[in-house]
Amino acid sequence: MGPVGITDQLWAWGRQLPRPSGPLPRPSRRSQVFDVLLALGISVIAIQGSYGVFPKPTRPDPSLPEPPEPPGLPVRLEPSDPVGPLDHHGVAWAVVMVLIVAPLVARRRFPLAMLWAVMGTAVVAAMVTDDRAIMRVSFYTCVIAAYSAAVYSPYRMPALGSQLAAAVLYSQVQSSMLLPTVSTDAVAFLVLIPIAIATDGLRRWRHRADEERARTAALERERDEATRRAAEQERARIARELHDVVTHNVSMMVIQAGAARTVMAADPEQARQALLAVEAGGRAAMSELRHVMGLLTMNTDNPADPVQLVPQPGLDRLDALVAGVRAGGVPVELTVVGQPRAMPGGVELAAYRVVQEALTNTVKHAGGASATVVVEYGTDCLHVEVADTGGTPRAPAATGNGRGLIGLRERLAVYGGSLHAGSRPRGGYRVRAHIPWEAL
């Protein structure tokens, strides 16, 4: 990296320094009350503990002889300044003590400004008087204000610079005074209390970090669980599609192939028609399977050219479905009641699958039966009913596991619909589906 790049980085870093890292804090009512009590408490303690103590020594009467200096001690020069207006501890002195501590009331709301306010009062107090009590309270107040600026101010670098300026200011004030401002008894507290505060802050930070990590881990687990559930639902949906496509078409192909085999020698033309039905069923199965697989994959050779998906079947294809079943030797009558209306594709697909599954079960389990299909566009819902007259199960398809009806119930539940299936009192089997309009 050349000098120009380093200069640009330093310039960008310098521009970021005065910018806040976040919004100014908005303290709660409890915090505001605590800060007020803190300022009042420090003021009362400072005034009560320092009233009448450490006043500036007055100049001795020049008419009296000066006391001799003890041998072996350096000569101490008395200040020649006149007695200041705050040197005798009175009302003005107490007011100054309160004014020095007053910025602590807003130390959370305006932390950096209050630190500079404390430093400003320290400069003014040092110019007016060298009272040790005032400077000691100013120093303690500055320590609290500096801590508040470090913790609450969003201006991190200006806060750090202000703390350095405060340290330089009070070191100069301390060096200009004849006696130390802070008692040596308080040094231990000035060291241990910030360490305790920093330790408590570190512990709180680690606790918050642990809570944040636990919360993040919980969110990740919930997201993974949601992804897993979505994947399972998608797998179940695809399994239902494959079941509906394969079961219906393959069942019809098996029946037609069996019929062709039976009549092939006696009636070649009928056998030919049966084989044509097998071919048509195979083509229909391949078309729908291509659609289902197209939901899972795209054309990876050319991503801009998606797989051409076959439209999902709807109620407009019931005639073709019924015709295919009739070609398989099962008499089916289709009746549509009411005025057809536009519906979402998923609803039409669900209704189509209901008819397809019911007719497939008729073909598999009720040989020699006839069926009726009724689609009614009611005032409150769509009714679909498929019923057969009963018969004998066909040998190649006499078994089933009931997955088809379970899949239909799951399909309809998505749209607030219901499915009822069971035997008819006079023989046969009936499947009824209801999908309310209000759920669409």
Cα four-point dihedral sign 323, 325, 331, 332: negative
Cβ contacts of residue 160 below 8 Å, gap of 6+? 150
Strand order in the sheet with 429-436: 332-337, 371-377, 381-388, 429-436, 418-423
Would you state the pLDDT for residue 216?
A: 87
Backbone angles phi, psi at 382, to 5 degrees: -95, 125
Classify 170 as helix, strand or coil.
Answer: helix
346-379 tens-digit pLDDT: 888 889 989 988 888 888 888 788 999 999 998 8
CB atoms within 10 A of CB 373: 22
Would you state the pLDDT for residue 2?
A: 53
pLDDT of 295 above 70? no
Average pLDDT over residues 293-312: 51
Would you state the pLDDT for residue 304?
A: 45
Q: According to the per-residue pLDDT averaged within each range, which of 3-17, 136-150, 199-213, 255-269 is highest? A: 136-150
Quick one: CA torsion of 150, 152, 155, 158, rounded to 10 degrees? -30
Q: Report all structural domains of the chain as residue ranges with CATH numbers, in order of start.
A: 20-56+85-182 (no CATH), 314-440 (3.30.565.10)
pLDDT of 188 above 60? no
DSSP of 181-233, one letter per residue? Answer: SS-GGGHHHHHHHHHHHHHHHHHHHHHHHHHHHHHHHHHHHHHHHHHHHHHHH
Cα four-point dihedral sign 116, 117, 118, 124: positive
Residues above pLDDT 70, as percent of the chain: 69
| Cβ-contact 86, 128 below 8 angstroms | yes
Q: According to the per-residue pLDDT averaged within each range, which of 188-192, 385-389, 396-400 is highest? A: 385-389
Would you state the pLDDT for residue 400?
A: 53
